[in-house]
Amino acid sequence: MENKKRTLREDARLIARGIGIWRTILPGYAAYLIPACLVSCALPYFPLYLSAELVNELSGGRDMRRLLILAAVTVTGTFLLSVLSRFLSGRLEASRRMFGVRHEAYLFDAENTFQYEHLEDPDVALMRSRILTNMNTSYSGLMVLLMIAENSFRNILELIVSASLTLSLFRRAQGDYTGFFAFVNSPWIVPVLIAFLAADAVVSFQASVRANNKYQDIVSELAKQNRMGRAYRNAKGVDMQIFKLNEVAIADYKKWKIRPEWVARNEKADLAYTLESKPTKLLLQIVLFWFTAAKAFLGVIGIGNFILYQGTLQRFLNAVSALVFNFGRLRYNNQYVEEVFRYLDLPNAMYKGSLAVEKRDDIEYEIEFRDVSFQYPRSTEWVLRHVNLKFQIGKNLAIVGENGSGKTTLMKLLCRLYDPTEGKILLNGIDITRYRYDEYMGLFSVVFQDYALFAFSVARNVAVSDPVDERHVWDCLNRVGIGDKIAGLDQGIHTSIGRDYENDSVDFSGGEQQKIALARALYKDAPFMILDEPTAALDPIAEAEIYARFHETVKDKTSVFISHRLSSCKFCDEIAVFDQGQLVQKGSHDTLLADENGKYYELWNAQAQYYVK
């Protein structure tokens, strides 16, 4: 992935938007984050501050009672703080563990509103897999943003605390100091120190940008290898055994390693960062040490405070470096964050109207394709050309034609997965784009050829939505003729499908799975039922039987049966014949077959051999 140059403002926007998303991905995280940061920040300062007081007391008043109290408060306070800190960081850790799953769920959620064409676009699929691989192998993207932003928050807190504990160092000392010690009360000391500090921040930042650009991203190099490994993980057990794929896989896995040149490159980048960023820091430290030591020498501050300031100043400087370095890392990580947002922001150009779809008990809906032509995105080929077609309500329509003649595409247009390139589709005389999208989609129940069952229970596969109406599930299963089989299973409709996750689940045969998919279509109880060759894997006679049975069960609805096998659709009131994207014939089986010059006649005779029992 290229890491293009972004302006500071663009980077800040990405970071802010990324932080805004945590609340959705990890709700409740911030509730623990703020106290956890406060406690972990207080943890080192608490004993530091109190031991300075102890030393001051030891080298000053030497009041035994005060000494004992200070010692007791230091020990118990530190103990309690560390217990609290452990508890809070444990909570944060537990919450972070959920990040991977929640992150994926977040993507799923966004995909719900994607325009369908993105789901069929291989570039979009690649983008998604890159986002997930980056997340799962190196946490790059939103997770790194979360971790570094959290560290930066700690750095800022540390800055505030250490600066406030150090402020008293710059209080004006009593007495006049001239000559060598004149600088102790010089009004210039603070501006000079701030100038040094600013110079140090700039130098460190530039060094960190250079270092971040030089780092070899070992994790993403490994991710590339990891992606290759997935090819084996998808292999079936039986292939593994028969072709001894394991041996090839293991030999390949052994070749994948962290290369010494990657490590050397990172060590060089580290060294360069240290050499570039340390000199100004060292100078600053010398000036600060000199200033503090001079004050202690003159007795302006106690020995305990001298120790305290050494500690707080060091922590202050470290926090500045860490903040600067982390900012560089955040900017580097932004290339991954940007890709996540590019994915989430994929444009949805589909026009969504606001008309309500009339709910009609009499199912008086009428659909008309008016001079519809269509090209897929990124293609110049006309898949459908000048299609004019009306559906008679309450009847059934068959769409037949050879593979590739455009039947599925026609249904995708009907269901608004795509909009026509030219022409219109009308529902009760009104362009379908003008209806509310969700309501319009609610009119259709479709079983496509590549339907998928999930590794959940039969009930959830049929109902898809929650809560499950179990009686309705049984009714649908009975209507497609698989009720008895399911009733015979120990767990009935609660049996899981496939053996991926549950030991007591059942592997249903291809035909049984198709029936479950049909039951799902019935469960939705939509006015339009569409079967788009979910039975293609069956032999022609079995398909014809399933279609005929399904037709019996949905007699009250408008249904569309699609097949490249004419015999499956013989029973339909009306048959539309497609050829190379055009509607070439329409009529009942008998009238179509009577036309000896027609496509239907030609296809019927070509296929006839398969139907002779």
Residues found near ligand ADP in the complex (CB under 6 A) = 120, 376, 379, 383, 401, 403-409
Q: Give dist(CA 304, CA 313) in Å, integer.
A: 14
Closer to ligand ADP by CB, 24 or 348: give it: 348
Concatenated DSSP letters of 186-213 = -TTHHHHHHHHHHHHHHHHHHHHHHHHH
394-430: burial string, b at 16+ Cβ within 10 Å, e else: bebbbbbbeeebbbbbbbbbbbbbbbbeebebebeee
Contacts for 470 with CB less than 8 Å, ≥ 6 apart: 459, 493
> Which phi and psi (to 5°) does residue 442 adopt?
-65, -15
Rg of the Cα atoms in the chain: 36
- In the complex, what is the shortest distance from the CB of residue 120 to ligand ADP, in angstroms, rounded to a whole number? 5
Closer to ligand ADP by CB, 111 or 475: give it: 111
Closer to ligand ADP by CB, 315 or 565: give it: 565
Concatenated DSSP letters of 389-450 = EEPPTTSEEEEEESTTSSHHHHHHHHTTSS--SEEEEEETTEEGGGB-HHHHHTTEEEE-TT
Closer to ligand ADP by CB, 383 or 476: give it: 383
- In the complex, what is the shortest distance from the CB of residue 447 to ligand ADP, in angstroms, rounded to a whole number? 14
- Read off the tokens for 516: 């479950």
Contact 10, 55 (CB under 8 A): no
Closer to ligand ADP by CB, 174 or 403: give it: 403
Closer to ligand ADP by CB, 316 or 528: give it: 528
Question: Coil, strand, or helix at residue 363?
Answer: coil
Contact 183, 104 (CB under 8 A): no
Burial class (CB in 10 A: 0-12, 13-18, 19+), 171: exposed
- In the complex, what is the shortest distance from the CB of residue 379 to ligand ADP, in angstroms, rounded to a whole number? 5
Closer to ligand ADP by CB, 305 or 405: give it: 405
- In the complex, what is the shortest distance from the CB of residue 403 to ligand ADP, in angstroms, rounded to a whole number? 4
Q: Where do we find the tokens 């406060």?
A: 38
What is the Cα 397 distance to its own chain's centre?
40
- In the complex, what is the shortest distance from the CB of residue 26 to ligand ADP, in angstroms, rounded to a whole number? 36
- In the complex, what is the shortest distance from the CB of residue 577 to ligand ADP, in angstroms, rounded to a whole number? 11
Cα-based distances in Å from 88 to 85, 161, 172, 382, 524: 5, 20, 41, 61, 47
- Read off the tokens for 102: 């929640």
Q: Give dist(CA 440, CA 163) in Å, integer.
A: 62
Closer to ligand ADP by CB, 354 or 403: give it: 403
Closer to ligand ADP by CB, 18 or 406: give it: 406
Cα-based distances in Å from 81 to 45, 51, 88, 205, 602: 11, 16, 10, 33, 86
> Considering only CA atoms, which of 175, 224, 206 is closest in space to residue 280?
206
Closer to ligand ADP by CB, 116 or 232: give it: 116
Contact 61, 181 (CB under 8 A): no
Closer to ligand ADP by CB, 62 or 378: give it: 378
